Every structure is written in C-alpha cells, then in structure tokens.
Amino acid sequence: MGLPVGHRRVGRLMGENGIKIIRTQKYKATTDSNHTFNIAPNLLDQDFSATGPNQKWAGDISYIWTSEGWLYLAVILDLYSRRVIGWAISNRMKKDLAIRALDMAVALRQPPEDCIHHTDRGSQYCSNEYQKRLSKHGFKVSMSGKGNCYDNSMVETFFKSIKAELIWRNRWDTRRQAEGAIFQYINGFYMNRPGFTGE
C-alpha cells in the first residue's frame, strides 16, 4: 500500500491484535496416476472462466488428519460461482468417495449435456465406474496434465482456504468431529462469502 513499515513493527502489531501466522503442513499425495485407465484430454486448458452455471465443473480430493487417522474430502466446484456443489467424506480414498461427491452435485444441479467435468488423473476419477457416470449424464471429460497442479487451481484454491481457515487451526480427536466442522465450514462459512452468486 506504499507505507514504509518494517517486519518487526508488523510482528508487534500482529501480536497486539492476536493475529497468528498459519504455516502450511506436511504434504500428503492424494493422486495415484499409476494406473491403466484411460486419460482424457485437458479441455479446460487453465481457462476457468464461465458465463453461467453448469458449464464447467472441477473436482479433487484432499485430506485431513485426526487422532483416529486420515479423513479424505472430495469436492465438486462449479467454476462459474466457485460454489461447492457436491462433496463427500470418507476414511478411505477410494472411487466411491469421488462418486458420492459427483452424485450429490448431479442431484443438486441436474447439469445439461456438454458440461465440462475437470479433474486430475487420479485412479478414482479414471475408474470405469466414475467414467460411466460421467457418460450417463453427458459430461465432456477433461483431465489435468501429468503432475500439473495449476490445471486444477480453482479447486486447489478452495482446499488452501479450508486448510488455512479451518483445518490447520484445529485438532480433532475423531473423524466425526472433523466431518461436522467441515460441514459447518462449507455450508455455513464458505458458501456465504461476499461475492458468491446464488448459482
């Protein structure tokens, strides 16, 4: 903002106002691209713009640590509004986790044919069962380039938000506690942000 200020003053002001730094946590791989399933072309090609709802969807899976072990979160975002339109949680990172998030989004939105559905190349998304569901609903299937997180940066941005604003600030004894907190975050806090459209 053009104001001369040193890092010590910033540190002092943060301390006086109870502002703490949230540091990133250890990375855990969630994409298993070592499989024999077919890979779809990258139709999105990092163009995340849309002129209306249900033109472009994107999905991914992330992870949350609890005292009972890992918990996995799959989401589907509508790229027009950046709203979470489908999500599911499980203690196992299997294809049924991704399928439940997709089923929720389809039931909520009833998307038209030719909606682009974009994900990474993970085995959950490339599985025959997941691809059959996409075909049944007339989606155009799009997948990120190998190892390129920027190809799905809208969903990565959502995961960065939920981790910085919720996950890295808390510890949960049980997966059920974490699931309840995630439900409240998505449906209460995240979805009611200023600037979100109703779509």
Indicate if the pLDDT at residue 25 is higher than 60: no
Reference 156, options 92, 75, 100; nearest CA is 75
Region 54-64 average pLDDT: 96
Question: Rounded distance, CA 48 to CA 46, Å?
Answer: 6
Residue-level pLDDT at 117: 97
Read off the pLDDT of residues 118-165 as tens digits, 9 standing for 90 and up: 999 999 999 999 999 999 999 999 999 887 778 999 999 999 999 999
Which pTM value belongs to this model? Answer: 0.79
Residue-level pLDDT at 27: 46
For the chain, give the mean pLDDT.
88
Residue-level pLDDT at 199: 63
Residue-level pLDDT at 16: 87
Indicate if the pLDDT at residue 89 is higher than 80: yes
* Residue 187 or residue 102, greater confidence: 102
Region 56-63 average pLDDT: 96
Right CATH number for 54-192 from 3.40.718.10, 3.20.20.70, 3.40.1350.10, 3.30.420.10?
3.30.420.10
